[in-house]
Structure 1
Amino acid sequence: MRAGGRTVRTNGTVDRRSLLKMAGGSMAALGLTAAGCGSGSGSGDGTVTIRYAWWGSDDRAKRINQTIALFEKKHPKIKVQTDFQPYLDFWKKFNTQASGGNPPDVFQNAIGFLRKYDEKNVLLDLNEQVEAGNLSMDNFRAGLEEFGRVDGKLLGVPVGSNSMALVIDQPVFAKAGISPKPGWTWDEYHDAMARIRDTQGRAGDSGLYGVMYLYDLFLRQNGKAFFTEDGLGFTEADLVDWWTKGFQGVRSGVYADPKKVAQIRPKSAVAAEIAASEFTWDNFTIRYTSEGKSQYGLAPIPTTDGKTTGQYLGSLMLSGSRRTQHPKEVARFIDFMVHDPEVAKIMGYDRGVPATTEQYEAFQPTDEVNKKIAAYERQLVETRVLQPITPHPAGADVCEAAFLRVAEDVGLGKRSVDEAVQQFFTEAKTALGS
């Protein structure tokens, strides 16, 4: 595909559940050490070339290339070479490049990888560029300016925000007489799922037991967390309870049959009308509209005490390479991508709700799906339920893949709950080095 005057590799996308299942524990083998020379290049006329890599859909590639064309127009002395890969291919290639000392100058990143690559001396601390005036950390929404900081270092700059939500098939919920409100409890949620099963002929939920980020919220509601700064923040007994209830939900039909869910992938169970709801990131809502025939909305996260959801705003980020020969140009590129209003008009909510006020105000969604996403996050801010994000230690990405895979084994009856818990803790302790 050619987009914005550049050739990029494009491939069909895979949903995150399928993606992580495919990843399994294999990502643990993708270790690396930073070595070798820096990246980026310059020319005799003062023009600098930086390399920018990301993952995502074909549509994201098209939009990003449009923003790069705009950047180069406004910064004629900085040229940008692009590299686009599907999620798993991106990280495999990134590891190969980083282990050879030649990672991209700037790249898309996520919270689960910050400590991992910081420990491997791959990530550029952008604090110096902020102090030099090449990158502004002003005007970020809802505390997002802190999202990419680790131990005082600025390792990533958010490009957008998202949060966990319950995506629902609105007509099904309406026919069942269910109207979730902020502060509804887990007991009310489970009653609602059973009512949908009994009155609408489908499972209430696609199966929440394998969603690591949702389990993190549940733990945070109860004074714990999935991760601490250096390991797991819950016990084997905690997970036995969570997965036991999840397996009981599958057997009772409250949660969808995992075999049916696997058969229809990469299509979601909600869009396939196997289940009436599913916990996922709010900005993924647009996926259901494109896949299904119904109308889809966002319902609040259930609570333990009627008020605490444990939620935070998450984000994709842009990070720089510690090996880059052009940290100033990398910083200016990141600054442009997170602050320029025209970028927001091009990207929309592809990477979440824009992180800075300049971009948030520049893009006003007109379609119903993006309006719902904006309203959902606005409600989270206004009701003040947001909390600081749980630290993600090095190896968090491997833990997430293992959690989903082992949880699915429980749902499919391949392992007992006790066996599954032991398997997960064994893999997690290896990944976390504990």
Structure 2
Amino acid sequence: MGKNGSVERRTVLKAAGASLAAAGLAATTGCGGDDGGSGDGTVEIRFAWWGAEERAKRINRSVKLFEKKYPKIKVKTDFQDYVAFWEKFQTQAAGGNPPDVFQNAVAFLRKYDKRSVLLDLKSQVEAGNLDLKNFRSGVEKVGEVDGKLLGVPVGSNTMSLVIDEKVFRKAGVEPEQGWTWDEYFAALKKIHDTQKVAGDTGYFGIMYLYDLYLRQNGKAFFTEDGLGFEETDLTEWWQDGYNRVKAGIVTDPKKVEQLKPKSPLASGDGASEFTWDNFTVRYTTEGDSTYGLAPIPTTDGKETGQYLGSLMLSGFARTEHPKEVAQFISFMVHDPEVGRIMGYDRGILATTEQFEAYKPTDAPNQAIARYEEEVAEAGLLGTITPHPAGADTVEAAFLRIAGDMSTGKTKVSDAVKQFFSEAKTALAA
């Protein structure tokens, strides 16, 4: 759920778990410890996010609109890439000086709520400063934790399967809603045998995909306070993945590393890839084929385990300006012009005002919107799995250890034990 493509998750999550506590990083100086106010009644709030330059341009345009509507509120902006953002935020939070409002994600809600960093926005809803009406598909629930409103979604996304349509068509494979994992893996083998290309780029290392698989089988990756599966479950998943790598059905992990930051799907070294649906625009930009969104494979021919995830905006619990923070968040998620400016940069727009204001003209974004509508209409969407404090570190470990396992650096059994050990430590911190 970050910038354009799963490349972000591959390249940054390896570093994220270990780097969050990195020392020597300077805290943002913005307010300098005062209340950010001035003699004429104007106040300043600090707003920070992660993302690329394009996202920064869009957000800064949106901020100017907000300041025009609220001339007594000035917004000081700051952004970095994903890893740098959370490194800086960790330092700021420890020093009691994080931004007044900031971009957030579900993996960090309980972590920073536990540290009393996040503002419960429910009081601002009750005061009329924050509007929670007109959210699509109940996506506003993503930011609710233990009865608190800790974040307000700016967009929605869900896990999807991106396919190289030309390769699938040549192999005679037609994905259909409700197809099973056995049918999916049979399709990958057929693609490998007939088109001489790996069918998948590395499904076994994606934590959020494994969560869907577990949900299909009555479990989940996380419970509210720990892991929701056993070592035997992960052993089966990773052993299966390792076997398919060795059979050539999944792209050679060493090739995947060599291609970074380009996706092996875009380079023609794989025919399908699981990722968040709003990341799919990248493949058209990077690759020479045509790419489409296919249904998630199932265990029972029906349930996919899917849910809506989201980037969101959160406030600092001890901000001097909770009203202004709430007004800013409300404007950023409801204003139609902001919707037209942001487009699907942070996912399918979360509110009906913005969703209806932005009409994508390019095929990839039209396909993303259509995919989410079809998933919702099919009644497949469930409630997002709770993420305990430490989930971000667990995700980083899952990706890193799965990579070591797939290249043969670590035996499957040892990789599973290592993951559970690291996860237990992270979740107990």
TM-score by length of 1: 0.94
Residue 285 of structure 1: aligned partner: 280
Indicate yes or no: 2:10 matched with 1:17: yes
- CA displacement at 1:25 relative to structure 2: 3.8
- CA displacement at 1:391 relative to structure 2: 0.3
- CA displacement at 1:21 relative to structure 2: 2.2
Residue 170 of structure 1: aligned partner: 165
* Contact 2:21-2:87 within 8 A present in 1 as well: no
Alignment of 1:258-337 (within 5 A): 258-337=253-332
Backbone CA RMSD of aligned residues? 1.7
String of CA shifts for 1:16-65, please: whole Å, max 9, x gaps: 111112335444668xxxxxx97750111111110000001110000000
**Structure 1 residues 39 and 126 mapped into 2: Cα distance closer, same or farther (>3 Å)?**
farther
**Structure 1 residues 26 and 426 mapped into 2: Cα distance closer, same or farther (>3 Å)?**
farther
- CA displacement at 1:364 relative to structure 2: 1.1
Residue 388 of structure 2: aligned partner: 393
Indicate yes or no: 2:414 matched with 1:419: yes
Question: The residue matched to 2:120 in structure 1 has which SS?
Answer: coil
Q: Report the Cα distance in structure 1 between the residues aligned to 2:35 and 2:88, rounded to whole angstroms.
A: 17
Out of 39-48 and 114-123, give the one that drifted further.
Answer: 39-48
String of CA shifts for 1:89-115, please: whole Å, max 9, x gaps: 000111111111110000000000000
Q: Report the Cα distance in structure 2 between the residues aligned to 1:367 and 1:94, rounded to whole angstroms.
A: 35
String of CA shifts for 1:292-329, please: whole Å, max 9, x gaps: 11111111100000000000000000000012100000
* Contact 1:40-1:51 within 8 A present in 2 as well: no
Indicate yes or no: 2:386 matched with 1:384: no
Query: What letter matches 2:329 in structure 1?
Result: I
Question: The residue matched to 1:41 in structure 2 has which SS?
Answer: coil
Q: Report the Cα distance in structure 2 between the residues aligned to 1:382 and 1:80, rounded to whole angstroms.
A: 39
- CA displacement at 1:210 relative to structure 2: 0.3
Question: Identical aligned pairs, as a percentage?
Answer: 68
Residue 222 of structure 1: aligned partner: 217
TM-score by length of 2: 0.95
Residue 199 of structure 2: aligned partner: 204
Question: The residue matched to 1:297 in structure 2 has which SS?
Answer: strand
* Contact 2:46-2:100 within 8 A present in 1 as well: yes
Task: Give unmatched runs, 5+ long, in structure 1.
Answer: 1-12, 31-36
String of CA shifts for 1:273-295, please: whole Å, max 9, x gaps: 11011000000001111111111
Q: Report the Cα distance in structure 1 between the residues aligned to 2:164 and 2:147, rounded to whole angstroms.
A: 43
Question: The residue matched to 1:51 in structure 2 has which SS?
Answer: strand
Residue 353 of structure 1: aligned partner: 348
Query: What letter matches 2:9 in structure 1?
Result: R
Structure 1 runs (4+) deviating above 2 angstroms are 21-30, 37-40
Indicate yes or no: 2:38 matched with 1:43: yes
Q: Report the Cα distance in structure 1 between the residues aligned to 2:295 and 2:22, rounded to whole angstroms.
A: 37
* Contact 2:19-2:87 within 8 A present in 1 as well: no
Q: Report the Cα distance in structure 2 between the residues aligned to 1:26 and 1:177, rounded to whole angstroms.
A: 45
Indicate yes or no: 2:337 matched with 1:368: no
Q: Report the Cα distance in structure 2 between the residues aligned to 1:83 and 1:77, rounded to whole angstroms.
A: 20
Query: What letter matches 2:100 in structure 1?
Result: D
- CA displacement at 1:370 relative to structure 2: 0.3
**Candidates 135, 147, 156, aligned match of 1:140:** 135
